[in-house]
Chain A
Amino acid sequence: MQFDPFVIPFNIGLNFILIYSVVRCIRWFRELSKPDKLRLQRGFFGLAFAQSLKEIFFESLLHRKILKTNLRLGYMHMSLAFGWFLLILFGTIEADVFGTRHLNAPYKAIFFRFFNPEHGRMGVEALYGFLMDFILAVILSGLLLAILKRFYSRIVGMKKTTRLRPADRIALTALWLIFPSRLLAESFTSGAYGTGSFLTGTLGSWLASFLPAQQMAYPFWWLYSLSLGTFFILLPVTRYMHIPTELFLIFMRNSGIRTGDKTGSFSEVEVFSCSSCGMCIDTCQLNNAAGITNIQSAYLMKAIRNNDNAYDIAHNCLMCGRCDKVCPVGIELSPIRMIQRRAGENDMAFRNSYKGYLRSKQSAVQEKSGASSAYDFLPETASEKVDVLYFAGCMTHLTPSIKNSMVRILDASGLNYIFLDEQGGACCGRPLMLAGQDKEARELINYNSQLIWKSGARILVTSCPICYKVFRESYYLDVEVLHHSQFIKNLIDEGVVKLNFLRKRVVYHTPCDLGRGSGVYNEPKEVLKHVSRLEKSSHEDDNSLCCGGSLANLKIGSRQRKLIARNAVSELTKSAPDILATACPLCKKTFAAVTETRVADLSEIVSEALIVPSVRRSISKKIFSAGELAGIH
């Protein structure tokens, strides 16, 4: 029996973390809703399991997504995760093949060199030793990058790195000690016995030349075991909990479970899967342009995990969704933030217990729901039957040129339409939702829904991406909801409107709620290509910027908004285009205040290019006099 007291810390740590992970997963599974449990069971016996294994290999071990965006940071994560995995895998094989017995306890693989110091002199053994040394060298290079990153984050191409708590700091120190102590322990043993390959062998013989290698080795084996044990014990209360949790998250996601709008097992698993890698911090415009460095998604996840008050963090965000797109773990960050914002969030909240080693569900603090409606002043209106509804939205009423352009385009199309909120209507409800006031938002949603139902329309066109998103996601409507860019594209495709080609160079800015929020990327660009020379900017599609005007943020003031807007405009107008085009009245308003370049909504550009047919115009309800038409421009 090969045994030495120094393996005890490692054994305790390993057994603890294995049992803990299983218990935690069972608890999470039990908290799942019934449909989600079924999804998970179906996923286990279906394709989802195989997909998950593939994703775990590519993302949890190789870190492909980080490698794609940032090579150095990706290498750091890959060398540590994949390297450690290989070290364990090949270590186990080594102990199995070359050890005295097959099927060893894990510690014999980890401390193989201690128990078999004579191993690795000749032939295959030496080759295998070379492989193990090589893997260790790769890990150590990654570790070197990690240590440098902690003190000088620009070395891995990052502007900011995450801040730490004491428990995180101890765990991080333990993690940093693991591999250097392994290197020294193996080197001293190798030096004493004259074994070891290019790394441990060379270092060992050099150290042995002036130090008593035999005596020096033993303390370092203790240190190696202790740092492993400490790391495992502290893992559940630190961000390193993401290592076991992420595997479960990938499987849950592949089984088809989504965050939804309440705190639940899945959002808990997501929160614990965050590795605080800091990709969200680097992409956040509040950080880059406005210098707000404590509210990014990594900090939100940390605050939820640690049971801190996440209120201010949750509300101080533009909800542009840029972090959702770069998160290498694929956490649905914006939905989690929305959950935190909701007033009635408490009805299923998790709180830390047992010094943070467990999380327990706490009972509801039911909100007192007021019986009276705050919006009882909304007028009862019966609308006439039409085919197409045009809903301008609040923001469009602030930018009348967009409204007028849309009226002109709709008139030219000859469609039977009404302008639903021509005299100003109720808000769509999304601003209230973003402020966490869902009950109030629901009242407005019901009011608008009734208006839309009564009209019997088949198509609802809106000019505002904020309205567009909420119409699609939170209204239960029997109409086709179109953003005006999609609507205009349909008109062009079907030849309903004829457009001139404007000799203007245009750069298109994708609004957050339209692009990342609703997945409408191509229609606005195709419309713009049809009427102008569309140029590419450095921030296309998923990488598009936020204008800074977002209604999602209640906390920042006009000064910070201007900083973000200026920064975004300078990025977008690098090629000095004639027009900075957008498809959102709020973006237009925000940009127009900070730039000399002409900022125009897509509908304005189309309206300029419009050839008004004389026949159709007479069909439409409103006949513009020549003077009125001139006044639109």
Chain B
Amino acid sequence: MEKFGFTITKGRQIDYEANDRGVAGYIYEKEPSFRLCIECGGCSATCTTANMTKFSLRELNILIKRGENDQVRKSIQKCMLCGKCSLVCPRGVNTRNVVFLARQAFQKNGQYAI
């Protein structure tokens, strides 16, 4: 149960000017099928990792596209690359490569000012 208080909530708007969409750009460039995602959540439903912990590839996809990388950076490391998500994807997105490229982009720190 949350404490009932009169706190000022954090702004929830997506600030495209402040957000860095470099990671998304990097993935779009190397894996164009990332654009095909319709955010259906099929990947999250079948996910091996999501079975054990809070992890949603669908959510991460959306966050990457918005450029809200802070939450993605740590979460994306939880993926086991087992590949079930690519098999169930109705749009044929190479989701495994999307995760792989996202990790790569975060590793190349600085290049994308993340």
Residues of A near any B CB (own CB < 8 A)? 374-375, 377-379, 394-395, 397-398, 423-427, 429, 431-432, 435, 437, 440, 444, 549, 551, 554-559, 586, 589
The smallest C-beta distance from A550 to any residue of chain B, in angstroms, reads 9
The residues in B between 45 and 84 inclusive whose CB is less than 8 angstroms from any CB of A are 46, 48-49, 51-53, 77-78, 80-84
Which range holds the interface residue count of chain B? Answer: 20 to 34
Task: Name the residue of chain A whose CB is nearest to the CB of B31.
Answer: A557
The smallest C-beta distance from B91 to any residue of chain A, in angstroms, reads 9
The CA-CA distance from A394 to B81 in the complex, in Å, is 11
Check A554/B97 contact, CB under 8 A, given A374-B78, A394-B82: yes
Whether A398 pairs with B52 at a CB distance below 8 angstroms is no
Whether A427 pairs with B92 at a CB distance below 8 angstroms is no
Check A398/B94 contact, CB under 8 A, given A377-B78, A557-B33: no
The CA-CA distance from A55 to B78 in the complex, in Å, is 49
- Ranked nearest first, the 9 interchain pairs of A and B with the lowest CB-CB distance are A558-B92, A377-B53, A374-B77, A427-B80, A424-B51, A394-B82, A427-B82, A431-B81, A554-B97
Check A431/B80 contact, CB under 8 A, given A398-B87, A557-B94: yes
Task: Name the residue of chain A whose CB is nearest to the CB of B98.
Answer: A554
The interface centre, meaning the residue of A426, A551, A554 with most chain B CB atoms within 10 A of its CB, is: A554
The CA-CA distance from A374 to B99 in the complex, in Å, is 14
Whether B80 pairs with A557 at a CB distance below 8 angstroms is no
The smallest C-beta distance from A261 to any residue of chain B, in angstroms, reads 19
Task: Name the residue of chain B whose CB is nearest to the CB of A379.
Answer: B52
Whether B100 pairs with A435 at a CB distance below 8 angstroms is yes
The CA-CA distance from A432 to B89 in the complex, in Å, is 20
Whether B51 pairs with A423 at a CB distance below 8 angstroms is yes
Whether A424 pairs with B48 at a CB distance below 8 angstroms is yes
Instruction: Note all chain B residues with C-beta closer than 8 A to A425.
Output: 48
Instruction: Note all chain B residues with C-beta closer than 8 A to A395.
Output: 82-84, 87
Whether A551 pairs with B96 at a CB distance below 8 angstroms is yes
Instruction: Note all chain A residues with C-beta closer than 8 A to B96.
Output: 431, 435, 551, 554
Q: Does B37 belong to the interface (CB within 8 Å)?
A: no
Q: Jot down 24 A-B pairs with beta carbons below 8 A, ordered by A.
A: A375-B80, A377-B52, A377-B53, A377-B78, A394-B80, A394-B83, A395-B87, A398-B46, A398-B84, A424-B48, A424-B51, A424-B52, A426-B80, A427-B81, A431-B83, A432-B80, A435-B81, A440-B77, A551-B82, A554-B96, A557-B33, A557-B94, A558-B86, A586-B87
Instruction: Note all chain A residues with C-beta closer than 8 A to B46.
Output: 398
Instruction: Note all chain A residues with C-beta closer than 8 A to B84.
Output: 394-395, 397-398
Whether B78 pairs with A555 at a CB distance below 8 angstroms is no
The CA-CA distance from A437 to B96 in the complex, in Å, is 13
The CA-CA distance from A432 to B78 in the complex, in Å, is 12
Instruction: Note all chain B residues with C-beta closer than 8 A to A379.
Output: 52
The CA-CA distance from A435 to B33 in the complex, in Å, is 19
Whether B48 pairs with A555 at a CB distance below 8 angstroms is no
The CA-CA distance from A374 to B55 in the complex, in Å, is 12
Q: Does B88 belong to the interface (CB within 8 Å)?
A: yes
Whether A589 pairs with B87 at a CB distance below 8 angstroms is yes
The CA-CA distance from A93 to B37 in the complex, in Å, is 73
Of the residues A375, A431, A551, A586, contact of B78 by C-beta under 8 Å: A375
Instruction: Note all chain A residues with C-beta closer than 8 A to B100.
Output: 435, 554
Whether B97 pairs with A444 at a CB distance below 8 angstroms is no
Whether B80 pairs with A444 at a CB distance below 8 angstroms is yes
Whether B87 pairs with A555 at a CB distance below 8 angstroms is no
The CA-CA distance from A554 to B103 in the complex, in Å, is 13
The smallest C-beta distance from A458 to any residue of chain B, in angstroms, reads 27
Instruction: Note all chain A residues with C-beta closer than 8 A to B92.
Output: 557-559
Instruction: Note all chain B residues with C-beta closer than 8 A to A432.
Output: 80-81
The CA-CA distance from A425 to B82 in the complex, in Å, is 11
The CA-CA distance from A377 to B50 in the complex, in Å, is 10
Task: Name the residue of chain A whose CB is nearest to the CB of B75.
Answer: A374
Instruction: Note all chain B residues with C-beta closer than 8 A to A549.
Output: 87
The smallest C-beta distance from B73 to any residue of chain A, in angstroms, reads 11
The CA-CA distance from A397 to B50 in the complex, in Å, is 14
List 14 extra interface pairs beyond A398-B87, A431-B83, A554-B96, CB under 8 A: A377-B78, A379-B52, A394-B82, A395-B82, A398-B84, A398-B88, A425-B48, A427-B81, A427-B82, A444-B80, A554-B100, A557-B92, A557-B94, A558-B94
Task: Name the residue of chain B whose CB is nearest to the CB of A554.
Answer: B97
Instruction: Note all chain A residues with C-beta closer than 8 A to B49.
Output: 377
The smallest C-beta distance from B106 to any residue of chain A, in angstroms, reads 11
Whether A551 pairs with B51 at a CB distance below 8 angstroms is no
The CA-CA distance from A551 to B87 in the complex, in Å, is 10
Instruction: Note all chain A residues with C-beta closer than 8 A to B80.
Output: 375, 394, 426-427, 429, 431-432, 440, 444
The CA-CA distance from A252 to B101 in the complex, in Å, is 38
Whether B88 pairs with A378 at a CB distance below 8 angstroms is no
Instruction: Note all chain A residues with C-beta closer than 8 A to B33.
Output: 557-558
The smallest C-beta distance from B80 to any residue of chain A, in angstroms, reads 4
Instruction: Note all chain B residues with C-beta closer than 8 A to A589.
Output: 87
Instruction: Note all chain B residues with C-beta closer than 8 A to A427.
Output: 48, 80-82
